[in-house]
Each structure stands twice: as C-alpha cells, then as structure tokens.
C-alpha cells in the first residue's frame, strides 16, 4: 500500500518541481528584463556638456525609405538640427551604411536631409560603410583619426533615447581599444535623446533593445 502510494505521488511531485523551477526561471528572467529596462531608461535622456560644449556631434542612422528618412531617423535628425541651430560651428558625423532594402546609405540620406535644412555640407562627415552600432562607432573613430581629430575630444552622441545606453557602452569600449590602452583623461560623453514619435517602433524597441544590449555587452568587442 505504501509502495503504491509512493509510486502514485512521484509523477505529481516531479511535476511540482518542474513547475517551481519554471516559475523561478520566469521570475529571474522578468527581473533581468526589468533591470535592463531601468538601465535603458536612465540613459534615455539629454546630458549635454556646456563648458566647453561638444566639438563633434555623431548622429546614428536608422532606416532610409524611398521618400526619405524613416520616422525614427527623422526624429534623430530633427533633434540634431535643433542643437546645431544653437551651435552652428559643430562638426557633424552622420553614420550608417546601405542596407539591402535601402536605395542609398543612411549617411547619405542624413546628409541630404541636413543640408536641405540649412547645414553647410562642408561641416558634415559621412561614415557610410557600417551595418550595426558597433561598426558605426569603430568606423567613426577611424574617420576621426583620418581627419586628424583628437579621439579625446568631447562628443555629442545623438540617437533615439532607447538606443543611448548601448551606444555609451560601445563608445567607451571602442575608445579604449582605439587608444590602445592609453589614458584618455576626462573626456565627457554628451548624449542627446531624440523622441520616438512612431508608437509601433516604441513598442517594438521596448522588447528588442534589452536583448540587443545583452548581445552587445557579450559579443561586440
């Protein structure tokens, strides 16, 4: 009798253990997701140095469409234009290559948009070979070296708010690599968070960006 009872309870006991383990993993996953969203939220804000102001503004690309920049990219460009109007002498780097579904590079589309809104093309530098954020940043450092700019110059990084945590992580990592371990003093990284006016993109990035942040932390080196 006792033996049969033990055998009858065993599958239920195992099922409870698996359920408890699944709930624990789900709880840990939700806690990690919440922590990552908090990190993203903390970095999704303007933080711009004033004395001295940044010397270089780097605008990160997004999808180009046949009729012009996508809504997300236009948000970023309009934020950059608002800052440029108050600081017309700042150098501007536009960064982004040509995707398989794009007719021009993101950098070229951004150049065209900015010059159409009054920016002198001589002050815009295009990085048009990259396909992701890590390449954006490394190619931008290479451009800065070619132009003879100091890699320790204060910079202003412009992108959608949700993107800035990952950009700052990778910018600091790439800067250390570019300087080959040399000290770089107290360079201040300014950030300008463009609003996200396209609601579906905001929802998509709420779920996507934490995963992208983990991927970049682990693999973009």
> pLDDT digits over 156-215, tens only?
999 999 999 999 999 999 988 887 755 555 567 899 999 999 999 999 999 999 999 999
pLDDT at 26 over 60: yes
pLDDT at 91 over 90: yes
pLDDT at 71: 96
**Cα–Cα dist 136/139, whole Å:** 5
Sheet holding 91-95, edge to edge: 124-127, 91-95, 56-60, 155-160, 189-194
Cis ω for the linkage preceding 52 (within 30 of 0): yes
Q: Is the four-CA dihedral 144, 146, 152, 153 of positive or negative sign?
A: negative
What is the average pLDDT score of the chain? 90
Share of the chain above pLDDT 90, in %: 72
**Cα–Cα dist 219/221, whole Å:** 6
Tell me the Ramachandran region of residue 59: left when phi exceeds 0, alpha when psi lies from -120 to 50, beta otherwise.
beta
Query: Which residue, 137, 164, 165, 163, is CA-closest to 151?
Result: 137
- Predicted TM-score (pTM) above 0.85: yes
> pLDDT digits over 99-114, tens only?
988 999 999 999 999 9
pLDDT at 35: 94
* Region 39-64 average pLDDT: 94
pLDDT at 179: 77
């Amino acid at each position: 009798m006792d033996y049969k009872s033990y055998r009858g309870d065993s599958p239920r006991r195992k099922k409870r253990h698996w359920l408890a383990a699944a709930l624990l993993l789900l709880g840990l996953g939700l806690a990690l997701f919440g922590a990552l969203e908090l990190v993203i939220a903390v970095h999704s804000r303007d933080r711009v140095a004033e004395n001295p102001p940044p010397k270089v503004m780097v605008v990160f690309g997004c999808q180009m469409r046949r009729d012009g920049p996508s809504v997300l990219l236009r948000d970023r460009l309009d934020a950059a234009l608002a800052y440029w109007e108050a600081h017309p002498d700042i150098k501007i780097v536009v960064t982004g290559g040509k995707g398989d579904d794009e007719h021009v590079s993101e950098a070229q589309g951004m150049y065209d948009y900015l010059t159409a809104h009054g920016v002198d093309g001589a002050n815009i530098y295009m990085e048009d070979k990259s396909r992701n954020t890590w390449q954006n940043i490394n190619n931008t450092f290479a451009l800065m070296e070619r132009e003879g700019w100091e890699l320790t110059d204060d910079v202003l990084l412009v992108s959608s708010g949700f993107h800035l945590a990952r950009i700052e992580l990778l910018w600091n990592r790439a800067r250390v690599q570019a300087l080959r371990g040399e000290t770089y003093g107290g360079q201040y990284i300014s950030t300008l968070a463009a609003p996200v006016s396209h609601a579906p993109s905001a929802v998509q990035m709420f779920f996507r960006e934490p995963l992208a942040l983990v991927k970049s932390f682990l693999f973009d080196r």
